[in-house]
Chains A and B, each alone.
Chain A
Amino acid sequence: MESQCHWAVELALIEVTDLSFRYPLTEKWALNSVSISVEKGEFVAIVGPTGAGKTTLCMCLNGLVPNNIRGDFRGTAKIAGLETNKSPVADLAHHVGIVFQSPESQLFGLTVEEEIAFGPENYNFQVQEISERIDWALDIVRMKEFSSKSPYDLSGGQKQRVAIAGALALRPEVLVMDEPLTELDPIGKSEVSATIRRLRDEHEITVVLVEHETEEVANYADRVLLMEQGRVTYQAPPREFFQRTKYLQSRGVDSPQVTQVASCLCDDGMWTGALPIRLEEAVETLKRLSEHGPVIHSVDSSSRFRDGVESVISFDDVTFLYPDGTEALRHINFEVKTGEFVAIIGQNGSGKTTLAKQLNGLLRPASGAVYINGIDTRKATVAELARTVGYLFQNPDHQIFSKTVEEEVTFGPKNLGMSTGEIESSVNEALLTAGIQALKVQHPLFLNKGQRQLVALASILSMKPQVLVLDEPTTGQDANGRRQIMSLVQRLHAAGKTIIVITHDMRLVAEYAPRAVVMWNGNIIGDGATRTVFCEPELLARTFIQPPQITRLSYQVPKLGVALSVEEMCAKVKQLHKT
């Protein structure tokens, strides 16, 4: 008896052996003989490009695959000794808690309290026990004061914390989180990230976390797995893992920016020893490397205040009210010149989207006026403004409805009443620009998310707008997908289009947008060259926006000036070193 118990302790909590899974009607194996084992108390992070099988693996861990989502399942996945394909999901649920990406779809309680009670209620616990668990779980995620609120009224970060508490309330041994930060704004990200850190530091719970943000992964994982094409191809503790920066990059995974800088300097023999994976580890060496030589003053190559260029967009003291009377925009004055590339940043609810919707008349000012190419939006229809302003919504699924890609892209030009010849040429041009001519006759719903995004973009481009408004174009994309869409946007900009991007992705802002507009509480509180805006840490801190890691690193090495990208930082250090 005793030896048996001893043996049970030795056994890993998660034991996946030779696991393969294929969804019905597909050729490709979503998982291809995956073997991993996770010890009790371990914190394992999984990174990898989109479509690598990360989500499928998560769903194997709590038995959703193959119990709920059926398909060709081979091999075994054992959690706490239970074989997941032989135990109902309900039996596994109190061993494995799972938190999904979208906070909206995993909360079904009418109040926070009921939401968390939901799991324990399903197991028919005593009311007293349930109420203790609610208190305990809400305390971990620091949401006690919200217990009687409706989940619908919470912010994204708060919703995600409630989802974590809901999973914890069953006191599972393992908590699986599938990209819990992806859909959140910067405040939400930092809240949830702090919660995850607390779970790691204060509670003995085994965590499996899928995450794109490698900076976060470097902060809390004990071990990192790389998944690609259904296989685990590389695993190591984070320090060792990220040493292979170039290899990871070739697999579509970006290492933390500090690691990338060090790796770049390593090539020139300037960095010796192990590469840093956290910001504070890089500061000393960089200070030493930039000891000699003069202080570098960054000059912005792109001056946005081009005189003589006309404004394509101009806001004149615009105020906008929601039906319930809250002011979403307060006395906004704002101009965009032809050919500019502007990023609008700020938390959810700061007024970014409300401002963007004024650009094509989806919303119209309550007082003041918005002029698009001199046309007052109050005197034009959305369809008329669509000729000038193309608005790409975040989720391509919100607009795709046709049977073929070509038909989808034709919808806009047809609505504009273009002639047949015009339609054909503009559709072909749009497909070509987006690089999806090959998909012309495909059904858009059978394409992957990245391709659908391109279809949605092409369907806007085919209307030949002068201004392009992009709402969160990179959310949920991996490093390659992000680069693909942003280099396309950059080409469009180079071809003369005016670009306005609404985004939470500060690396995107730093690397691509020459001008940044910071919104807070319905006001524009910062507007200028991105470099200048990122030079004001106080302004950003006030709006809870965190600049990219590389920029934060440059704050600590003042001699280098503010750096916006890895390449820039590398170039500066090299320049200093030469002198």
Chain B
Amino acid sequence: MPAYGFYVPKDTVVHRLHPASKLAVSFTPMFLAMIVYHDLLFNAILFIAILAILVLARTEWRTIRPFLRIMATFIVMLSISWLIFYNKGTPVLSFWIIRITDIGIIIDITTILRFLTLLLASVFLMIITSESELIQGLRTFRVPYVLCFILMLALRFLPTLISDFDMVKSAQMSRACEFQKGRVLERAAKNVSVMIPLMVIAFNRVTEVSNALESRGFKVSGLGYKRASYKQRNLELADKCLLVSCAVLVVAIAILHFYFGMFIGVTVSLGG
């Protein structure tokens, strides 16, 4: 049975980072791409930066390809819609009712770069961070243990839930239930035959898991209960520097953008 998850263990500078730094490294480009929308140069630099990080993490093309393939249609749609519906600026090409303008092209490219940055940064987080490290990272940022624990249980039991779902579906298919056939209402009724067993199993499992948890001394007494954390790594100097620079970068660019009107891009400067 193949394991669930996208994490690919490797030994690179990036992989060796403290989990908190990994979170920072992937969230910083995401924030920046969200703050700054229409500046081609800025977003191009950001895109190149995330590519550089991926190269540094020795990411293979085949790891990223499936994600891009899923998003490909969306990217194409996005790109066409900007080209067609943005009609300010000098027309470069016009036929019938469609006017493709120079600014439209620039914004189109910028938007795609932004989108790719967001996508690659999330992919980057998924492939360099194990589930366990994700929790450690969140813990470092002082996210309450109980919340982390819930996330951890969800991550742990997701594959189990998926295999339960497959099992129930196979069992009902073996009873000649055809999920694809029939009218909408009939199909909905068929899904009941999957949902009910799945709920019963999940409910039983919740009881079992909570018994097991309590038997190991787990107690939920509010959000701030004191508990050792075996896996917690201390932040090293390099990690601290990285975290601080990420924070400074985000804050600085936000201030420059919102208060000093930098990185506005073509829209405003060309009188949009």
Contacts and interface: CB of A to CB of B under 8 A. Distances in A.
Contacts of B219: 88, 90, 122
A431 to B, nearest CB: 16
Interface stretch (B67-75, B107-115, B191-199): B191-199
B213 interface: yes
B159 A166 contact: no
Contacts of A362: 170, 173-174
A108 B4 CA distance: 15
Interface stretch (B91-99, B130-138, B240-248): B130-138
Contacts of B209: 105-106, 108
A104 B160 contact: yes
Interface in B139-172: 152-153, 155-157, 159-160, 164, 167-168, 170-172
A383 B178 contact: yes
Given A100-B212, A152-B3, A381-B178, A117 B230 contact: yes
Nearest to B213: A108
A118 interface: yes
Nearest to A130: B230
Interface stretch (A192-200, A410-418, A500-508): A410-418
B175 interface: yes
Interface stretch (B116-124, B221-229, B249-257): B221-229
Given A62-B215, A411-B177, A125 B167 contact: no
Contact of B197 (A89, A386, A397, A463): A397
A118 B148 CA distance: 14
A100 B211 contact: yes
Nearest to A124: B228
A413 B53 CA distance: 58
A383 B218 contact: no
A334 to B, nearest CB: 20
Contacts of A460: 174-175
Interface stretch (A18-26, A398-406, A560-568): A398-406
Contact of B228 (A69, A105, A127, A391): A127
B197 A398 contact: yes
A460 B173 CA distance: 11
Contacts of A90: 214, 217-219
A170 B155 CA distance: 25
Given A114-B230, A152-B156, A100 B130 contact: no
Nearest to A169: B216
A217 interface: no
B185 interface: no
Nearest to A68: B214
Given A122-B216, A130-B228, A415 B177 contact: yes
A179 B153 CA distance: 24
B227 A124 contact: yes
Interface in A73-110: 88-90, 93-94, 96-98, 100, 102, 104-110
Contacts of B232: 127
A102 B208 contact: yes
A157 interface: no
Contacts of A113: 230-231
Contacts of A152: 3-4, 156, 159-160
A353 to B, nearest CB: 10
Contacts of B155: 110
B176 A357 contact: no
A496 to B, nearest CB: 21
Interface in A372-427: 381-383, 386-387, 390-391, 393, 395, 397-401, 411-412, 415-416
Contacts of A100: 208, 211-212
A400 B197 contact: yes
A111 B230 CA distance: 12
A382 B176 contact: yes
Nearest to B177: A415
Interface string A119-146: 1111111110011001000000000000
A468 to B, nearest CB: 11
Contacts of B131: 110, 150
A224 B230 CA distance: 39
Contacts of A64: 211, 214-215
Contacts of A94: 217
Interface string A439-482: 00000010000000000000110010000000000000000000
Contacts of B204: 397
Nearest to A413: B176
Nearest to A131: B230
A155 to B, nearest CB: 10
Nearest to B226: A124
B215 A98 contact: yes
B174 A382 contact: yes
A391 B156 CA distance: 30
A404 to B, nearest CB: 13
Contacts of B229: 121
Contacts of B200: 397, 400, 445
A362 B175 CA distance: 11
B210 interface: yes
Contacts of B132: 109-111, 114
B69 to A, nearest CB: 15
A150 B131 CA distance: 10
Contacts of A107: 156
B205 interface: yes
A108 B209 CA distance: 8
B95 to A, nearest CB: 46
A127 B173 contact: no
Interface in A185-216: none
Interface string B53-79: 000000000000000000000000000
B193 A401 contact: yes
B212 to A, nearest CB: 4
Contacts of B197: 397-401
Contact of A383 (B130, B173, B216, B217): B173
Contacts of A119: 216-217
Nearest to B172: A399
A349 B211 CA distance: 29
Contacts of B195: 401
Nearest to B215: A98
Nearest to A415: B176
Nearest to A89: B214
Given A120-B228, A123-B228, 5 more contacts: A69-B211, A97-B215, A114-B230, A130-B230, A416-B176
26 contacts: A62-B215, A64-B211, A68-B211, A69-B211, A89-B215, A90-B217, A105-B208, A105-B209, A106-B209, A107-B156, A108-B209, A109-B132, A113-B230, A114-B230, A119-B217, A124-B228, A150-B131, A152-B4, A322-B1, A383-B177, A386-B176, A390-B174, A391-B171, A399-B193, A401-B195, A412-B176
